[in-house]
Every structure is written in structure tokens, then in C-alpha cells.
């Protein structure tokens, strides 16, 4: 049983660029549903902030082999594509750090996998 996110271009992305991620899984049975979402969260000394920027149902995403979206299969792979926003950048400061995360979930077992995205002008996390 595996669930994974593949980022063909790696984790570093520039603002406004196209994020392309493949969500692949192999299970004995077909999942009942699932979703993928992209968001950012802060961490550090203070209370955290989170924001979901995009949410999509896996069943509505195209297959990697370009066939039309259908019911989820036991072994499947879907493509999530999104034009990234201008910010906020991924950064790490003394009090605050901000990370972008792509999260995929499969029902009914709430299987979860995450992949960190770095959003910045040069694809590297900013250090303040």
C-alpha cells in the first residue's frame, strides 16, 4: 500500500510558475474518495496561521496517462496543476517560518501524504 506525491520539477518553484504534482497510490481496494490541497502555514514562537490556497477532489483530476477523469481506482495516478500565486514566499526567520505544503488524502482510512513546496524567486527558502 503506497500513497505518494511526486514533484517532477522538484520542490523549488517561482511565484507565478506552474506547479505540477502527481499523486500516485497502490491499494488493494479502490478508495472511496480523496482530495489534494495546497496551502501555507506558519510556525515559530507565536500562534500559527494557516491558509488553504487550493483544494481539489482527486476524482476530478486528470489521470497521468491523460485519460478522462473517472472513478478512483485501486492503483491510480492523478495530476494536480496550479498556477502558483505571487506569495507569500517560503521563509525562515528568527520568530516565524512559513512553509508551503501539498497534502493528499485518501478515504476512508484518511491516508495522508504531504510534500513541501518552496515558493520564492529563486526556488530556495529565504533566510531572514
Partner 1 sequence: MWATIRERTPQVVFSLLFLTFGVYGTFDSLVRSIALSRRAEAFVASECTITRHEVARGRDSDGDATFHPVVHYTLVVAGATHAGKRIGFSSTSSSARSYADDVLAGYPVGTRWPCWHDPATPSDVVLDRSTAQVSAFSLVPMAFAFIGLAVLINALRRPRAPRHGLAVRVPGRRGPLVLSTRREEAFDLLISAGFALPFGLVGGASIVMAWTSPSLESCGAALIFGGAGLGLCVWFLRCLLRVLGPRAWLRLAAPTVRLGESIALDYALRGPRLALHGKLALVGLEETRYTRGTRQVTDTHEFYNSTLVELDSRTRAGTVTVAVPRRSMHSLYAENNRIVWVIAVRAHVGPDWWPDVDELYEIAVEPAEEPRS
Residues binding partner 1 (CB under 8 A): 14-17, 42, 44-49, 51, 86-89, 91, 93-96, 98, 121-122, 126, 128
- How do beta strands 126-127 and 91-92 pair? parallel
Look-up of cell digits 514533484: 7
Whether cis (ω within 30° of 0) applies to the bond prior to 88 is yes
Nearest approach, Cβ of residue 120 and partner 1 (Å) = 9
Nearest approach, Cβ of residue 59 and partner 1 (Å) = 29
- Smaller CB distance to partner 1: residue 16 or 33? 16
- Smaller CB distance to partner 1: residue 76 or 125? 125
Instruction: Give the integer Cα–Cα distance in Å for 103 and 39.
Output: 8
Backbone angles phi, psi at 16, to 5 degrees: 85, -10
Nearest approach, Cβ of residue 68 and partner 1 (Å) = 29
Amino acid at each position: 500500500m503506497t500513497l505518494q506525491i511526486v514533484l517532477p520539477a522538484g520542490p523549488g518553484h517561482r511565484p507565478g510558475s506552474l506547479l505540477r504534482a502527481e499523486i500516485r497510490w497502490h491499494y488493494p481496494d479502490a478508495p472511496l474518495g480523496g482530495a489534494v490541497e495546497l496551502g501555507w502555514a506558519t510556525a515559530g514562537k507565536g500562534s500559527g496561521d494557516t491558509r488553504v490556497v487550493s483544494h481539489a477532489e482527486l476524482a476530478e483530476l486528470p489521470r497521468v496517462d491523460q485519460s478522462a477523469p473517472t472513478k478512483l481506482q485501486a492503483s491510480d495516478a492523478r495530476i494536480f496543476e496550479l498556477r502558483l500565486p505571487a506569495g507569500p514566499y517560503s521563509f525562515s526567520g528568527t520568530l516565524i517560518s512559513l512553509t508551503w505544503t501539498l497534502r493528499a488524502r485518501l478515504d476512508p482510512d484518511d491516508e495522508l501524504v504531504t510534500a513541501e513546496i518552496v515558493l520564492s524567486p529563486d526556488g530556495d527558502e529565504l533566510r531572514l
